[in-house]
Chain A
């Protein structure tokens, strides 16, 4: 494959391409990133040396090269992990070409051979994507054809998914069609209501190697979706269904899966409103039925909660539950006009968000079968009944305001309920239904201030507090989380090149007195155009880091971190 790409590139660079008018040789561009950490032995954070690697220094990186000429594109990515950094999936070890493709595009036809990322609808039935910062990459290796004309887009694909430096044993096939009614029907082209409908069919094949069960080798799924827009109003709904698919995720039950998601939003200049919800029932869909964690997922189900990126709120993120979940989210934004009593001279923006996620209602299929029992249909459920277990709840409210020419501020208050048994320990519904799950109650605030010293010189401050309580006494230490903490941060930036920051977290409320620690961290970054070099030194608390719908646990660490990223 590599040789073919090279051969083609070389060929095109030495010969004119007869079909193109201009005799150019095409463009080659790409990007590069390297991240490394020199670990410092910290006997207080890590008494058992679990977070101190033998290598002492770990580094990983990648480079992408993309060649384009007219409608032709070829690309390749090299990745190296020597060795993979702590907190990343340990399956990434070593180095190699992990991504290469050939693609051409002509008159609405788009053909790809090799690796490709793809998404049908919202991704609830199929989504291959990458989050390099998390080590997530379930790219397909195979072939894909797309054709678009008159508002109709049809896609067909076949391939196997990436699993670290290997590939999944299962094969995924899929077709998808999307129709823009306003483009397709000339009578609707002037219509103010824009309607798009779509449908997909996806199937995976995996051999049945089980000595005990008769497992389906082909697992089919289908879905439909509709998107309606009129003025500031938007409505989206999607439904997917999957036949029975016993897997290690669902404890090998034979129940079919289904999922419904919807979102309604409205906005004008003064006011924004969004409500979204979903109901997921047994929708883990992987091209390997024994895969774990982030491996070989065919579909993507997003967490329907606000995505917090301030440091302390981000320590307790919600991760979507692909085995089953009910979820509702409501969000408001309101602008107080400038030069009013409440709005002040420059205006003020108010925002509020509420999200709930819990289990679907589960009951026994019969007297003798436990909920979720292996080899059975698993459980019965009811659509319009609240589930027995609360997973997560988040209410947050705040405002953003420019105070004067020098100062801007943002304040956020959060009230979070976090199911520690589920989100940190991975207990199943059937276990949590029988006991009272340990819920951590969090009250949090974030105050952010920006100050302009003079043109191109700015200061930014953050003060954050996280106050943690448990729902009952007598819990073991590992059920309590890290307890209350506060954070202070100062950033100084000199545009366009320099950035400095100093941060400290003080975990004053840790239930274990030995861990009532300070976590200081300093950062320096230099930017020049597309290049950024960053150095950081200090202690970082353990936490769960999420990008998109995927989370990974990163242990506490101490050391020197470095990162360089560039593109050309």
Chain B
């Protein structure tokens, strides 16, 4: 254990101590196609990645709230929202129909083995990431309280303008 702490301490001086780039992981589209997360691009505009599940009520509230303003966000800032469901086989078949009937215009993917969730260090859902135009993770948030989408919009404005967040 002492060695572990020592090694980590040494590492901090040289390492990039945070999640900067998106891990390259295979996820599944709602029509069953394998897609690598390296294809998550948006022509130099910001991307929002939101982890959710059909059984997670705060997640649904967040995605519903963003759906109401998504058109504006796309027009104003060119934002793309990617919704990654961690549903397993109990509910994974409901993900596509649910997104469609809710009118979510997001790119929806399923991370059934939770490889993408683990690679990004997500503990609990909802968990939302913001990527800048270069695909770097510049902001993240865990949990959802009603109205959080307003703060997210403020973050996206800064990111779209090339300003530093935080």
Chain B residues within 8 Å of A273, by CB: 97
Chain A residues within 8 Å of B55, by CB: 307, 309
Chain B residues within 8 Å of A496, by CB: 141, 145, 147-148, 151
9 A-B pairs with the lowest CB-CB distances in the bound complex, closest first: A302-B90, A267-B97, A458-B146, A495-B147, A493-B145, A122-B89, A272-B97, A31-B121, A272-B101
Residues 28-77 of B at the A interface (beta carbon under 8 Å)? 31-34, 54-57, 61
Query: Is residue B150 contacting chain A, with contact meaning CB distance below 8 A?
Result: yes
Contact B100 A236 (CB under 8 A): no
In whole angstroms, what is the CA distance A3 to B23 when docked?
25
In whole angstroms, what is the CA distance A455 to B148 when docked?
10
Chain B residues within 8 Å of A130, by CB: 114
Of A124, A261, A266, A548, the most chain B CB neighbours within 10 A belong to: A548
Chain A residues within 8 Å of B89, by CB: 122-124, 261, 300, 302
Contact B148 A307 (CB under 8 A): no
Query: Is residue B109 contacting chain A, with contact meaning CB distance below 8 A?
Result: no
B residues whose Cβ falls under 8 Å from a Cβ of A: 3-4, 7-8, 10-12, 14-21, 23-24, 26, 31-34, 54-57, 61, 88-91, 93-94, 96-98, 100-103, 112-115, 118-119, 121-124, 127, 139-143, 145-148, 150-151, 166
Contact A274 B143 (CB under 8 A): no
In whole angstroms, what is the CA distance A180 to B29 when docked?
13
Contact A3 B90 (CB under 8 A): no
In whole angstroms, what is the CA distance A66 to B117 when docked?
12
A-B contacts besides A268-B100, A331-B94, A565-B123, 16 pairs, CB < 8 Å: A3-B3, A6-B4, A13-B10, A14-B14, A27-B15, A29-B19, A148-B34, A267-B97, A300-B89, A307-B55, A309-B56, A333-B98, A525-B143, A532-B142, A565-B124, A568-B17
10 contacts between A and B (CB under 8 A): A6-B4, A29-B18, A73-B23, A267-B96, A300-B88, A457-B147, A495-B146, A499-B143, A529-B140, A568-B121
Query: Which residue from A10, A265, A307 sits with its C-beta under 8 Å from B96?
Result: A265
Q: In this complex, what residue of A is CB-closest to B140?
A: A530
Query: Which residue from B93, B114, B122, B150 sits with its C-beta under 8 Å from A117?
Result: B114
Contact (A495, B32) CB under 8 Å given A265-B94, A272-B101: no
Contact A234 B3 (CB under 8 A): no
Chain A residues within 8 Å of B23, by CB: 68, 73
Contact B11 A10 (CB under 8 A): yes
In whole angstroms, what is the CA distance A31 to B103 when docked?
33
In whole angstroms, what is the CA distance A274 to B92 when docked?
12
Contact (A31, B122) CB under 8 Å given A10-B7, A153-B34: yes
Contact (A335, B11) CB under 8 Å given A304-B90, A456-B147: no
Chain B residues within 8 Å of A525, by CB: 143
Contact B93 A265 (CB under 8 A): yes
Q: In this complex, what residue of A is CB-closest to B113?
A: A119
Contact A567 B142 (CB under 8 A): yes
Contact (A455, B94) CB under 8 Å given A13-B11, A309-B57, A499-B145: no
Query: Which residue from A13, A227, A455 sits with its C-beta under 8 Å from B14?
Result: A13
A residues whose Cβ falls under 8 Å from a Cβ of B: 2-3, 6, 9-10, 13-14, 24-31, 33, 64-68, 73, 105, 117-119, 122-124, 127, 129-130, 132, 148, 153, 180, 194, 196, 227, 229, 232, 234, 236, 261, 263, 265-274, 276, 300, 302-304, 307, 309-310, 331, 333, 335, 349, 450, 452, 455-458, 460, 493-496, 498-499, 525, 527, 529-532, 548-549, 565, 567-568
Contact B10 A549 (CB under 8 A): no
Query: Which residue from B8, B100, B148, B151 sits with its C-beta under 8 Å from A269?
Result: B100
Q: In this complex, what residue of B is CB-closest to A119?
A: B113
Chain B residues within 8 Å of A549, by CB: 88, 90
Contact B147 A27 (CB under 8 A): no
Contact (A180, B34) CB under 8 Å given A27-B18, A529-B139: yes
In whole angstroms, what is the CA distance A105 to B25 when docked?
10
In whole angstroms, what is the CA distance A193 to B146 when docked?
40
In whole angstroms, what is the CA distance A269 to B99 when docked?
9
Chain A residues within 8 Å of B61, by CB: 450
Distance in angstroms from A239 CB to nearest chain B CB is: 14
Contact B90 A548 (CB under 8 A): yes
Distance in angstroms from A386 CB to nearest chain B CB is: 23
Chain B residues within 8 Å of A119, by CB: 112-113
Distance in angstroms from A173 CB to nearest chain B CB is: 19
Distance in angstroms from B55 CB to nearest chain A CB is: 4
In whole angstroms, what is the CA distance A263 to B96 when docked?
13
Contact A335 B101 (CB under 8 A): yes
In whole angstroms, what is the CA distance A304 to B92 when docked?
12
Contact (A274, B97) CB under 8 Å given A25-B15, A269-B103, A565-B142: yes
